[in-house]
Amino acid sequence: MNTFGTPQRVLVRGEGAYVWDADGRRYLDLLAGIAVNALGHAHPALLRAVTDQLAGLGHVSNFFTTPAHVTLAERLLQIVTPGGAPAGSRVFLANSGTEANEAAFKLVRRHGGGARPRVLALEGAFHGRTMGALALTHKAAYREPFEPLPGGVEFLPFGDLDALERALESGDGDDVAALFLEPIQGEAGVRPLPDGYLGAARRLTAAHGALLVLDEVQSGVGRAGRWMAHHAMLDDAAGTVLPDVVTLAKGLGGGMPIGAMVALGEQTAALLGPGQHGTTFGGNPVAAAAALAVLETIEREDLLAHVDVTGKGLAAALREVPGVRAVRGAGLLVAAELEAPIAKEVAAALLEAEPTGFVVNPVAPDTIRLAPPLILTGEQAESFVTALPAALAAGRAAGTGTT
Ligand SMILES: *Cc1c(COP(=O)(O)O)cnc(C)c1O
């Protein structure tokens, strides 16, 4: 179905941070399937995990469980809460980010029964495309053609704590079920929450009995140079200040489809009980084995530190490129804001670059997003920075943004 427009290339093969198209041209993949291929392409650890699991047991229904399913859930609790998950915490495994958020939406609807009909999200938020996740997504062009959507969602100005406080206090008693936040808004152009916002949002939601749901679908699993982007934002050395729910997907399976909703604490985790939610494929052992391989490899290859160093180097180098107005992000989730609205033209020029093209994403008219594999080397990042000025010139020449 023509929901994505015309594909830019037919890709046939990948290895590490590179992909090849059907004409044999090579590209440095700085998008990684939109923050998905955490270990790059054809990583031996991922291949082995998936092959071994499929050779043993490829699928069981959720009437049963598998070692991969259980081990992954335990491992997810560890990486979401390095200080230790509260007793009674639970994980729901799904197949995508939108499903993880859909599950979270259903869970928060159960909080407070009918007495808490309101759900808060931010302007610029992207939480997915199913009807519930879409109701939490701000962009009118995505949402409005599909109304009516599940009700009760209100969008607050990005990063505005006064607006949050007013929204929590304005209701009929404490009537907000939850606040959904992306620690770094990805689709809105890589916008990290301002300093101090998340900590204050945690205090305010707790004071009003509202759940705090963090959507780490794009920013989690090492992409920001931490296991979770919010770990750098809840300034709490002891790791005792926690969100109530965290959703994950994208990089988690390294390319296999998997999503997860992590509910912290007995009370929150008990909001969904037997029969209240379900999925046929969620927790599939092959996808779970892939996710375990991703997490093990990030640990074994010390990729969190690598992402931090490589990302800082890349951001610093991009700041020096004439025509780049600002650089945002954390780790290897980076946006370069350009001085002119020529991101599309620059991305097209980068794809055409010789001898190696570059896959990037024009996430906004003036912004290029990079979300490369976490294994990207410093040299590979540098090759992009070196190629960028020529692409900017080509983009300026082609673009309507020429002044
Ligand atoms: C991509 C994304 C989603 C949706 O995930 P899908 O796997 O595409 O359904 C949800 N939230 C955030 C923050 C995302 O970046």
**Is the CB of residue 124 below 6 angstroms from any atom belonging to ligand 1?**
no
Cα-to-centroid distance, 253 and ligand 1 (Å): 13
What integer pLDDT is reported at residue 235 of this predicted model?
Answer: 66
Q: One-letter amino acid identity for 97?
A: G
For 308-337, what is the mean pLDDT?
98
Instruction: Give the C-alpha separation, 291 to 10, whole Å.
Output: 26
Atom of ligand 1 nearest to the CA of 99: 9
Question: Which structure tokens are listed for 21?
Answer: 């198209």
**Is the CB of residue 126 below 6 angstroms from any atom belonging to ligand 1?**
yes
Angle at 311 between CA 310 and CA 316, to 5 degrees: 100
- pLDDT (tens digit, 9 = 90+) per residue, 288-318? 999 999 999 999 999 999 999 999 999 999 9
What integer pLDDT is reported at residue 172 of this predicted model?
Answer: 84
Surface-to-core class of residue 11, CB atoms within 10 Å of its CB (0-12 exposed, 13-18 middle, 19+ buried): middle
Cα-to-centroid distance, 313 and ligand 1 (Å): 27
- pLDDT (tens digit, 9 = 90+) per residue, 129-151? 999 999 999 999 999 999 999 99
Contact criterion met (CB below 8 Å) for 105 and 133:
yes
Contact criterion met (CB below 8 Å) for 359 and 367:
no
In this prediction, residue 237 has a pLDDT band, given cuts at 50, 70 and 90, of low
Is pLDDT above 70 for 78? yes
Cα-to-centroid distance, 259 and ligand 1 (Å): 9
Phi-psi region of 285 (alpha: psi -120 to 50; beta: other; left: phi over 0): alpha
Provide the residue ranges of all domains of the chain, joining segments of one domain with +: 11-30+302-400, 46-300
Surface-to-core class of residue 379, CB atoms within 10 Å of its CB (0-12 exposed, 13-18 middle, 19+ buried): exposed
What integer pLDDT is reported at residue 400 of this predicted model?
Answer: 63
Is pLDDT above 80 for 80? yes
What integer pLDDT is reported at residue 399 of this predicted model?
Answer: 75
Question: In a mutational test of the pocket of ligand 1, which residue from 127, 139, 213 has the highest number of ligand atoms less than 8 Å from its CB?
Answer: 127
Query: Closest Cα to residue 94, out of 353, 346, 329, 279?
Result: 279
- CA pseudo-torsion sign 290, 294, 295, 299: positive
CATH number of 11-30+302-400: 3.90.1150.10
**Whole-number average pLDDT of the chain:** 96
What integer pLDDT is reported at residue 126 of this predicted model?
Answer: 98
Q: Above pLDDT 90, what percent of the chain?
A: 95
Largest CA distance in the chain: 63
Query: Closest Cα to residue 193, out of 180, 204, 205, 182?
Result: 182
**Is the CB of residue 96 below 6 angstroms from any atom belonging to ligand 1?**
yes
Q: Above pLDDT 70, what percent of the chain?
A: 98
For 376-384, what is the mean pLDDT?
98
**Residue whose CA lies nearest to ligand 1 atom number 8:** 97
In this prediction, residue 53 has a pLDDT band, given cuts at 50, 70 and 90, of very high
Query: Closest Cα to residue 338, out of 346, 330, 349?
Result: 346
**Residue whose CA lies nearest to ligand 1 atom number 15:** 218
Is pLDDT above 90 for 240? no
Cα-to-centroid distance, 133 and ligand 1 (Å): 9
Cα-to-centroid distance, 320 and ligand 1 (Å): 31
Is pLDDT above 70 for 403? no
Atom of ligand 1 nearest to the CA of 101: 10
**Is the CB of residue 182 below 6 angstroms from any atom belonging to ligand 1?**
yes
Buried b (16+ CB within 10 A) or exposed e, 118-156: bbbbbebbbbbbebbbbbbbbeeeebeeeeebbeebebb
Is pLDDT above 80 for 52? yes
Cα-to-centroid distance, 109 and ligand 1 (Å): 20
- pLDDT (tens digit, 9 = 90+) per residue, 382-398? 999 999 999 999 999 99
Q: Fold for 46-300, please state it.
A: Aspartate Aminotransferase; domain 2 (3.40.640)
Instruction: Give the C-alpha separation, 342 to 396, whole Å.
Output: 7
Cα-to-centroid distance, 248 and ligand 1 (Å): 9
Atom of ligand 1 nearest to the CA of 34: 1
Is pLDDT above 90 for 110? yes
Cα-to-centroid distance, 125 and ligand 1 (Å): 10
Q: One-letter amino acid identity for 273?
A: G
Number of H helices, E strands in the chain: 13, 17
**Is the CB of residue 97 below 6 angstroms from any atom belonging to ligand 1?**
yes
Atom of ligand 1 nearest to the CA of 250: 7
Cα-to-centroid distance, 86 and ligand 1 (Å): 26
Is pLDDT above 90 for 113? no
